[in-house]
Amino acid sequence: MSSSATRLRNDVANLFKASCHPDIVLPSDGPKDLTTITLHLLGPASTPYSEGAWKLTLKLPAEYPHSPPKAFFETKIFHPNVAASTGEVCVDTLKRDWSPNVDLRHVLLVIRCLLIEPNPESALNEDAGKLLLENFADFERMARLMTSVHALKRSAFASANTSSDLSSVTDSADENGNITTIYADLEVDSGRVSSTNTLDTKNVLRPLELTQRGSSAPNPESPSKPSVKNKDVKPKKKVGIKRL
């Protein structure tokens, strides 16, 4: 097997072995094709996309990792860095800044960061980029409107954000979408490729719920306090409305 094929298999296996972030929902049955990864990206909190979810596809070329993957939003989104017609994502990490040391987990975290901080300077959607530069409030309103019309409902994926998922990423990414924490994690992730363990195809296709299984200590239940009725409290008087 060629080194490119081995690296591809290892990166896909590593992606499904551990969750990137609660907002990145991978299919539980693993990828059907190692060159095409389809998942769902949930809108980060405190952004115009917070109520939505989008189907996202990564297409990996035969030359990966020497050539970058391409990312496409299959669900329509109003965003400067996403082409309105094709859904192609434009980000420097997948273009001029691509490095073979970047892995798929890093790529997905960078795309999530685009929903927090769009870059109008490399806009594929010129209307969105122009609106973002000229009037941010109007951009937010349009992004929210398009999210409500076209996006999937984030609430439909609430079951994916279990306590074990959150515990696995506490040290790497803030659940509130803190951009500083995310980029700190990307720096760590970029160095993990060289230490990736080789996994066979059976492990690559192992269901997500089996490979991400974790445990967290339950919080002790606080004792319930008996309700106390204050007999000295007088009932509020009903205020009637006089008709003229």
**Are the beta carbons of 9 and 202 closer than 8 angstroms?**
no
Q: CA–CA separation, 191 vs 106, rounded Å?
A: 10
Instruction: Report the catalytic residues.
Output: 90
Q: Residue 171, by phi and psi: left (phi above 0), alpha (psi -120 to 50) or beta?
A: alpha
Q: CA–CA separation, 156 vs 35, rounded Å?
A: 27
The DSSP output letter for 175 is: T
Helix (H), strand (E) at residue 133: helix 126-134
Q: How many CB atoms lie within 10 A of CB 194?
A: 6
Q: CA–CA separation, 63 vs 149, rounded Å?
A: 38
**Are the beta carbons of 177 and 46 closer than 8 angstroms?**
yes
Q: CA–CA separation, 222 vs 225, rounded Å?
A: 9
Question: How far from 233 is each of 181, 227, 228, 229, 237, CA to CA, in Å?
Answer: 50, 15, 12, 9, 12
